[in-house]
Amino acid sequence: MPGSSTRPRSISAATARRLAIRTQGLDGSWELLSGKRGAVRTIDRLGYVQIDTIAVVERAHHHTLWCRQPDYEPDMLHELQRRDRRVFEYWCHGASYLPIDDYPYYLPRMRAYADSASVRDWLEANRDLVRNVLSRVRSEGPLTSADFSAPEGRKRGSWWDWKPAKQALEMLFSVGELMVSERRNFQRVYDLTERVLPASLRTGTPSSEELAHFAVRRAVSSRGVVSVDQLRWGRLADSAALRGALESFLRSGEVALVRVVGLDAQPQYAWTEALEAALKTRRRLREVRILSPFDSLVIDRRRLRALFDFDCKLECYFPAAKRRYGYFCLPVLWGDRFVGRMDPKADRKRKVLLLRNVLFEPGFGRCEELLLRLAAALRSFAAFNGCEQIVVQKARPAAARSTLQKLLG
């Protein structure tokens, strides 16, 4: 096991939480840049920003960036992808925006996907369709799925029942022959990879050792404390290579072996520079952050429960009668603890942010300081969503509803 000869450094769970928040850029310690420069730096420091379709409030990728950069606007991300070519889309933790400089590290995954038996069989069985799709993109320029017609007489099925051309576009995207040039009304626009990649980008394929070092560096430097099981960044490298890279980082001192008091006995690893900074910080974290359920701090639900004792359930895919919290609940972080969640909906026509449910964890619902700070955070969140008024429809405990509504005006 990596680090077996190294004596672990004991840290408290509170330190581990602060470290996770710090490496995720949520403690105010990051030097912020304005505009698109700030957005691309945030994506680079996080390593990825997950994309999601749900739009009851601003979509997850915009929400994640705004949480870390108050002047962020959605047009910035569009320009970084379409015009500046500073980010690209591919699979990391789900569909994600990624720093363009990381593109070469995803080439082996694209090639592995192309070499899989199921993909080879599909491409062979549909070679005329694939040839036609590529030919049209090559001759006509960037195209969306809507630019291709479904076969005559074919009826639309369930939402995942794509027409054949859409399947071909997605397959060609996954194997790396097409890239997403931009999004129009959230729909992917596909183009040939060679027309999307910047000419200055080096696209040599990294060795397995380089790939493993990249994955370990990304995972440890952006997540605070991680176990060996949590190093599989984007499923880019195999376990043996990851363990070898981790051992190398331990020998160099860039990564430290730690034991988090109260967590399970599994070894944990931290980026040494970030750990030292977190240990030196004595400032109490008091800001309230309203996060997306797809935020990279909370997306690993098992780790979230272990480190923060918080269960972040996404219930939008449940029947309404089975929802305990709400359709699309956003976790509420206060300092280094998750103190509740809320189920919002932005009524953009009326410019009203509806809080259909605000639920506090036991012991937090009557905290005056929390309610004051939450009200301030909600006003900022409402403005980000183009809303001028906030209506609290329901809360738990019930008494918090009237207090919070009064603070919001």
- 41-66 per-residue burial string, b: 16 or more CB within 10 A, e: under 16: bbbbebbbbbbbeeebbbbbbbbbbb
Q: Which residue has the tokens 């404390």?
A: 225
pLDDT score, position 252: 97
Q: What is the pLDDT of residue 159?
A: 39
255 vs 272: CA distance, rounded Å: 5
Tokens found for residue 231: 């190093």
Say what the pLDDT of residue 163 is.
86
Cβ atoms of 324 and 330 closer than 8 Å: no
What tens digit of pLDDT does each residue of 3-30 get? Answer: 445 689 999 999 999 999 999 999 999 9
Alpha carbon separation from 69 to 36, 81, 117, 253 (Å, rounded): 10, 18, 43, 31
Phi (first) and psi of residue 264, to 5 degrees: -65, 170
The helix (H) or strand (E) run that includes residue 404 is helix 399-408
Nearest CA to 19 among 265, 257, 312, 272? Answer: 272
User: What integer pLDDT is reported at residue 160 of this predicted model?
Assistant: 40
**345: helix, coil or strand?**
strand
Say what the pLDDT of residue 162 is.
58
Four-point Cα dihedral 125, 129, 134, 137, nearest 10? -160
Alpha helices in 2-102 (DSSP H): 13-23, 35-46, 60-68, 74-82
Report field, pTM of the whole predicted structure over 0.85: yes
Q: Dmax of the chain from CA atoms?
A: 67
For residue 43, the 8-state DSSP code is H
pLDDT in tens, 117-164: 999 999 999 999 999 999 999 999 999 999 998 665 555 544 344 589
Exposure of 202 by Cβ count < 10 A (0-12 exposed, 13-18 middle, 19+ buried)? exposed
How many Cβ atoms are within 10 Å of 28's Cβ, its own excluded? Answer: 12
Tens digit of pLDDT per residue, the chain (409 long)? 444 456 899 999 999 999 999 999 999 999 989 999 999 999 999 999 999 999 999 999 999 999 999 999 999 999 999 999 999 999 998 999 999 999 999 999 999 999 999 999 999 999 999 999 999 999 999 999 999 986 655 555 443 445 899 999 999 999 999 999 999 999 999 999 999 999 999 889 999 999 999 999 999 999 999 999 888 888 899 999 999 999 999 999 999 999 999 887 778 999 999 999 999 887 788 899 999 999 999 999 999 999 999 999 899 989 999 999 999 999 999 999 999 999 999 999 999 999 999 999 998 877 899 999 999 999 999 999 999 999 999 999 999 999 999 999 8
3-state DSSP of 212-231: HHHHHHHHHHHHCEECHHHC
pLDDT score at 384: 98
Q: Residue 100: name the closest of 193, 219, 224 by CA.
A: 193
Q: Are 49 and 61 in contact (CB under 8 A)?
A: yes
Give the pLDDT score at 157: 45
β-strand pairing of 268-271 with 288-290: unpaired
Amino acid at 263: L
Q: Which two tokens stand for residue 122?
A: 């599909």
